[in-house]
């Protein structure tokens, strides 16, 4: 497969944050990365390639330069593997007016209307009874077929619909999965989970299951210059990091990629960017190479952190929403994101490094700044740079309709991002 094929594959199989990590792990294994465990002592070797999965939904991968020496710096690039949508609540089965529905809650800031009238499926992890109560069995689940629909209201019942409609997550956004009958009751969903996993219904203790758009990615445009797909935010960045960390590496220092969980809900979790994970792993890496915490601190001054997420492509239908001189057009290069508020963790020195890499390698890039009257979103960059005080830059692929159930990107922008990440790890 070429890099576009690999991206399409990831977009199809990474249907929950847990499946994202599984898919990343599989690609890294194919490229010779050895799996480590936080609870064990590490015996790292120069020239080695390693990965660690943290609580099933965050993954670290790193390489040790074959000429590594004390004082060498580290280069980190991080994305996230979760995406906005809906998570299924416990005791989710509902019967309402002859239909079977699932009680859900919002996960992150989804554009709610884009989830209506689409075939939807379910994926995530299910936790089962075990012999050791402190180690419950964990299984991944992906139903892989359309099982849900969130139906819209016909315009005949609201002639003003096209002027804008308030959508409430607990009312209008509750999905339907069947018609109530003697065969199908409100317990049918849990029964379907049990059947899919070949376990007894009574063995299911809890789950973290997400609803996902089952549409497949496709090319759009007269020359196939765009990609339309669910979950471009932020699987584009995730695949770009894989492409970079599995390509040629520099001979000195530590190169690391991270795919965090919980970015879409604020990152404040044991496996999120607002945790001590990065510092913990860096200290463990350096200790395993015969160095100590002071060596990690000393290396920070010359180190870099790339926060790799998506950006807002200029949409000509909403021109007034964009900055007057820093808006970017698709297929003109990946975006360097700046914000004086530090919602994007970027400073001029760090930007200059990115620009010089791009100019040295002939890589297209653009700069993005939000309209001064808009707040814009945040990234793991701002959070991580506060937890780990090193130079940080926010970059990413421009998208249409960020946080829609289906987004659009430019093919050349993704290619430029991959080229940049490869150069970042190599030079």
Closest CA to 24 of 15, 14, 32: 14
**For residue 341, what pLDDT is reported?**
66
**For residue 248, what pLDDT is reported?**
95
Q: Which residues of 212-224 are buried (b: 16+ CB within 10 A; e: fewer)?
A: bbbbebeeeeeee
Q: Two tokens at 26? A: 């599989």
Sheet containing 49-54: give its strands across.
Answer: 34-36, 49-54, 58-64, 254-260, 74-80, 304-308, 391-396, 334-338, 365-369
pTM for the whole structure = 0.95
Give the E-state strand segments of 167-241 in sequence order: 176-179, 204-213, 218-220, 226-229
**For residue 345, what pLDDT is reported?**
78
Closest CA to 296 of 69, 75, 77, 74: 74
Looking at domain 3-83+231-426, its CATH architecture is: 3-Layer(aba) Sandwich (3.40)
CA–CA separation, 190 and 195 (whole Å)? 9
Strand partners, 120: 148, 213
Closest CA to 216 of 12, 401, 3, 4: 12
Q: Two tokens at 191? A: 């029964």
Alpha helices in 327-410 (DSSP H): 348-361, 380-387
**For residue 298, what pLDDT is reported?**
87
**For residue 184, what pLDDT is reported?**
86
**For residue 235, what pLDDT is reported?**
98
Tell me the CATH number for domain 85-213. 2.30.250.10
Could you count the other beta carbons within 10 Å of the beta carbon of residue 312? 24
pLDDT along the chain (427 residues), means of 10: 95 98 98 95 95 96 95 93 97 94 96 97 98 96 97 95 93 95 90 96 97 98 98 97 97 96 86 85 92 86 92 94 89 88 78 96 92 75 78 94 97 98 97
Give the E-state strand segments of 157-234 in sequence order: 176-179, 204-213, 218-220, 226-229
| Domain residue spans of the chain | 3-83+231-426, 85-213
CA–CA separation, 81 and 273 (whole Å)? 12
């Amino acid at each position: 497969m070429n890099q576009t094929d690999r991206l399409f594959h990831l977009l199809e199989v990474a249907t929950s944050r847990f499946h994202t990590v599984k898919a990343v792990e599989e690609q890294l294994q194919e490229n010779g990365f050895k799996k480590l465990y936080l609870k064990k002592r590490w015996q790292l070797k120069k020239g080695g390639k390693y990965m660690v999965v943290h609580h099933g939904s965050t993954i670290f991968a790193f390489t040790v330069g074959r000429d590594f020496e004390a004082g060498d710096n580290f280069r980190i690039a991080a994305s996230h593997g979760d995406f906005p949508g809906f998570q299924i609540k416990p005791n989710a089965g509902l019967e309402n007016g002859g239909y079977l529905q699932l009680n859900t809650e919002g996960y992150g800031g989804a554009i709610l209307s884009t989830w209506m009238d689409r075939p939807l499926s379910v994926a995530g992890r299910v936790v089962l009874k075990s012999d050791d109560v402190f180690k419950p069995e964990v299984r991944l689940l992906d139903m892989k077929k359309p099982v849900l629909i969130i139906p819209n209201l016909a315009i005949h019942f609201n002639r003003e619909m096209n002027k804008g409609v308030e959508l409430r997550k607990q009312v209008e956004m509750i999905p339907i999965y069947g018609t109530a009958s003697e065969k199908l009751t409100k317990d049918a969903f849990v029964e379907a989970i049990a059947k899919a996993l070949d376990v007894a219904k009574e063995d299911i203790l809890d789950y973290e299951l997400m609803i996902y758009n089952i549409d497949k990615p496709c090319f759009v445009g007269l020359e196939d210059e765009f990609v339309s797909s669910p979950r471009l935010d932020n699987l584009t960045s995730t695949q770009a990091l894989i492409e970079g960390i599995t390509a040629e590496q520099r001979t000195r220092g530590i190169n690391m990629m991270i795919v965090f969980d919980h970015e879409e809900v604020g990152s404040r979790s044991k496996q999120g960017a607002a945790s001590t994970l990065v510092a913990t792993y860096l200290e463990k890496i350096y200790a395993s190479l015969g160095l100590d915490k002071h060596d990690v601190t000393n290396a920070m001054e010359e180190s870099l952190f790339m926060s790799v997420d998506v950006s807002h492509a200029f949409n000509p239908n909403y021109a007034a929403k964009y900055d007057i001189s820093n808006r970017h057009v698709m297929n003109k290069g990946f975006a360097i994101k700046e914000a004086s508020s530090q919602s994007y963790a970027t400073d001029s020195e760090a930007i200059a490094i990115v620009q010089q890499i791009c100019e040295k390698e002939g890589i297209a890039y653009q700069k993005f700044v939000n309209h001064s009257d808009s707040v814009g979103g945040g990234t793991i960059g701002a959070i991580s740079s506060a937890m780990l005080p090193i130079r940080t830059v926010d970059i990413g692929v421009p998208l249409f309709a960020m946080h829609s159930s289906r987004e659009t990107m430019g093919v050349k922008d993704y290619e430029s991002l991959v080229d940049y990440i490869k150069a970042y790890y190599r030079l």
